[in-house]
Amino acid sequence: MKLLVIADPLEAFRPYKDSTFAIMREAARRGHTLMACEPQQLMWERGGPVRTFVRDLVLTPPALRSQAGDDVPEWFTARQAPGQGRPQVLAEVDAVLMRKDPPFDSEYFYATHLLEQSTRDGARVFNAPRALRDHPEKLAILEFPQFIGPTLVTRDGHDVKRFHAEHRDIILKPLDGMGGMGIFRVGPDGLNLGSITETLNGHGARTFMVQKYLPEIVRGAATSPRAARAWRSRCRRATARSPRRSGRCWPPAGCCWSGST
């Protein structure tokens, strides 16, 4: 099969933790042909199908031999240099994998529309572009309120103060971030709550998420066994084609955590 992976720049991958690299490694082991592009290279013109500019990839022997957690600095060779890809119609490959990391911003949104247009041309896109729009990473949990802790989505500072007064120890995070970037914890003393809120909401211009800090999450015991089984079952059905993602541990109170997931 010919597989097109739409992702961030290949040179920025971190193979020891990148799930897209794991997918590509397994595909290469099974003999599939790999090519890659970035979302900004997608284009459509009236009268034609959605196209992009791809780099044809071959994974190196160390990459093919690697296991989860291994760091492989030189993991691929490409027939084309960055920015010099060859034209490729999306409908002419066997599968298109949308693997671009957040932020879920306007450009990500527009990319899903171009990908949806490519499906009208006959392209097979995974996951479905409409599903990517309807289920952004942070807000997908709204569909499972029975499995999450106390959570607030707002842009209003007064709502945040009320939530903190009720729960005392809280986590604040942007909706369009990834990898733990821009996440704050505010303890019972409320230190810097106002300035953190202004940083995240842009003085009322941006919506963000606030959650009660659950110390049980660090120990992996935040839910009952029954709830955990139900959650895992629903997640398996909803993300049958997605690799498992690792958990997070929250930062110390008053800190902004910029570590990896």
**CATH number for the domain harbouring residue 126:** 3.40.50.20
Residues 19 and 124 in one domain: yes
Q: Quick one: pLDDT at residue 249?
A: 35
**CATH for 172:** 3.30.1490.20
Residues 29 and 108 in one domain: yes
Residues 82 and 194 in one domain: no
Residues 66 and 144 in one domain: no
Pick the last residue of a domain from 93, 109, 134.
134
Cα–Cα distance for residue pair 38/100, rounded to 1 Å: 8
Pick the last residue of a domain from 134, 163, 187.
134
What residues are paired with 78 via a beta bridge?
57
pLDDT above 60 (res 11): yes
Cα–Cα distance for residue pair 110/133, rounded to 1 Å: 10
Residues 38 and 55 in one domain: yes
Residues 118 and 205 in one domain: no
Residues 20 and 122 in one domain: yes
- Per residue in 103-161, pLDDT (tens digit) is 888 899 999 999 999 999 999 999 999 999 988 888 999 999 999 999 999 999 999 99
For 222, the domain range is 139-257
Residues 98 and 158 in one domain: no
Q: Quick one: pLDDT at residue 104?
A: 83
Pick the last residue of a domain from 134, 165, 192.
134
Q: Quick one: pLDDT at residue 253?
A: 42
Residues 157 and 100 in one domain: no
Residues 129 and 144 in one domain: no
Among 169, 134, 135, 172, which Cα is nearest to 152's? 172
Locate the DSSP E strands across 108-169.
125-126, 151-154
Model pTM?
0.75
Query: Is 88:203 a contact under the CB 8 Å cutoff?
Result: no
Which comes out higher in pLDDT, residue 30 or 134? 30
Residues 248 and 218 in one domain: yes
Residues 93 and 144 in one domain: no
Give the angle 230-231-235 at the CA atoms, nearest 5°.
120
Domain count, the chain: 2
- Per residue in 65-117, pLDDT (tens digit) is 999 889 998 999 999 999 999 999 999 999 999 999 888 888 999 999 999 99
Query: Is 127:98 a contact under the CB 8 Å cutoff?
Result: yes
